[in-house]
Chains A and B, each alone.
Chain A
Amino acid sequence: MPEILLRVRGLEVAYGGIRAVKGIDLEVRSGEMVALIGANGAGKTSTLKALSGLLRPAAGRIDYDGTEVTGKPAYHLVRRGLAMVPEGRGVFPRLTVAENLAMGAYIRKDKAAVARDLDRACTLFPRLAERRGQLAGTLSGGEQQMLAMARALMCGPRLLLLDEPSMGLAPLMVQRIFETVRAVAAEGVTMLLVEQNAKLALETCHRGYVMESGSVVLAGDARKLLSNPQVRQAYLGE
């Protein structure tokens, strides 16, 4: 079994007095694709924000790559290869596509490696290569999502946290985005994917966790979860 890259124990996230995440455990092994699914307000995004250092956990422990990183700020984690694609895409609208990609490599000093990664991103996302001089704010929603993913790859991540990549996109574009998610995973990037589109997420990933009002209620092999009657009823509308 590959090593555990990310291990979460008893993670709690609170906004003031309200606990959005009520003590969850999860693990991501090197090379895995793991889905975190659940309804609106289940605490998926809060979990992801805590994992990427954008929110300080109220309790619990997060280990990444063998060391504890609980409460470490995002800029520290990015340097260690833990990158995140924020919800709602979060591209920089007033920067061009090329400048957005350059921002992704903000922490890196090795120019040659950055240039190599830029080429790789352009191969993975030919649309972006075509539009490199265009302001990111003028891209379509799908293109912005692609840009956000390409930009996250530019910091050379080992573990990529993806928050709702399908949000607000047309069905056809959702398929395209998931194709690129698979392509990125094929390059050896470990992934933790937060999704509302449970079917697509579970079809794409190896393992899954199901969250409900701040707790993990189900966990296991993605295929088994897909055939689980509870999941089918709650998230697949059957």
Chain B
Amino acid sequence: MIAAGHPVLRWTTWLAVALLLLAAPFLIEAVLGRAWVRIADVALLFIMLALGLNIVVGFAGLLDLGYIAFFAVGAYSYALLASPQFAVHWPFYVLLPLGAAVAAVFGILLGAPTLRLRGDYLAIVTLGFGEIIRIFLNNLNRPFNITNGPQGITLIDPLQFGGFSLAQSHTVAGLTFTPAHNYYFVFLACVLLSIAVSLRLEDSRIGRAWVAIRDDELAASAMGINTRNMKLLAFAMGATFGGVAGGLFASFQGFISPESFHLIDSIMVLCMVVLGGMGNVYGVALGAVLLTALPEALRYVGPLQQRWFGEIFVDPSDLRMLLFGLALVLMMLFRPSGILPARRRAVRPSPAGAGRKPHAAG
């Protein structure tokens, strides 16, 4: 017999998870159809976004309602330099780090003036920042055409490894890799890297400094933590994730416009973080998958109504928001710290305090 927690068992589990993740696009294609492989790609992108926002909101406790702006910055950095827009076609290995860096700079630009704000006030400023970026992108087609305005940028170069373009189908050993499949594997690698970075950050000196700032900023600075730099670092790190995800998104879609970067998208990513479990890396990833898949699944509700009742009573897109709201309300009532709560969950004040059991770690 092998006891639970035995190394052999652990490795087998990891191996099974790895195989499942590798086989996932083919399984999804076989069971749900090819459209869902694309949805899986989008879900992976949202995992990256949610993990980035989790650094800002979950780790450092800074409420950011304009996070999608960094996604936009990353996407436009990539699109402008890898499309016919300026007839520039830089390779992705230059553009993705560049997009990350540009997003980080924007993160600091947002962070610097908001250092003294907390909670609601910070939320309002970040919300404004998100809108400013979108409106800029919408209007930067005059007097000089930079972003092509509301028309967006088309014909963005796909990711290309040497002569291997991810935008073409390839057949290897009897398996057909459509573009959606190709991107799945690239995105999966990026997501795994993001998870690794997030987990390392959480358990680092920096991560602990963030927790301290979130709990009590004054006490944190009394501990010798440079709260200003740590908060800027949180904004910059979070923005970096968003910037990379944005670049990947632009290459994957081949087309971007300011339409993709609305306030509702920021709120969506925030919901993923909150629903999944603020501060818990796996919870956040789960939240991103659920909230990407749920609206897509609800598309089937329309045809179902047609088949059962002969007519469509509720438009699926209305139903989407309704169910979404309901899910959030129920969530806040029954699992306020998310599906997978963070290890450091909020402490409810207790008058007596003493005599409480020590919390279980892990």
Contacts and interface: CB of A to CB of B under 8 A. Distances in A.
A12 interface: no
Nearest to B359: A135
A103 B225 CA distance: 9
Contact of A54 (B205, B221, B224, B347): B221
Given A92-B216, A138-B347, A141-B353, A74 B224 contact: yes
B102 to A, nearest CB: 29
Interface stretch (A61-69, A83-91, A110-118, A185-193): A83-91
A59 interface: no
A139 B353 CA distance: 5
Interface string B335-362: 0000000001111011011101011010
Contacts, number: 101
A189 to B, nearest CB: 15
Contacts of A90: 216, 218-219, 222
A104 B223 contact: yes
B104 interface: no
Given A131-B358, A138-B353, A86 B345 contact: no
A78 interface: yes
Size range of the chain B interface in the assembly: 20 to 34
Interface stretch (A1-9, A93-101, A198-206, A211-219): A93-101
Given A84-B222, A86-B219, A103-B208, 18 more contacts: A54-B218, A74-B222, A78-B223, A79-B224, A85-B222, A90-B218, A90-B222, A94-B215, A94-B347, A103-B220, A106-B208, A106-B225, A107-B224, A133-B361, A135-B347, A135-B356, A135-B358, A143-B353
Nearest 4 pairs of A and B residues by beta carbon: A137-B347, A78-B224, A90-B219, A107-B224
Interface of B: 205, 208-209, 211-212, 214-216, 218-227, 344-347, 349-350, 352-354, 356, 358-359, 361
Interface of A: 52-54, 73-75, 78-79, 83-86, 90-96, 99, 102-104, 106-107, 131, 133-135, 137-141, 143, 148, 151-152, 155
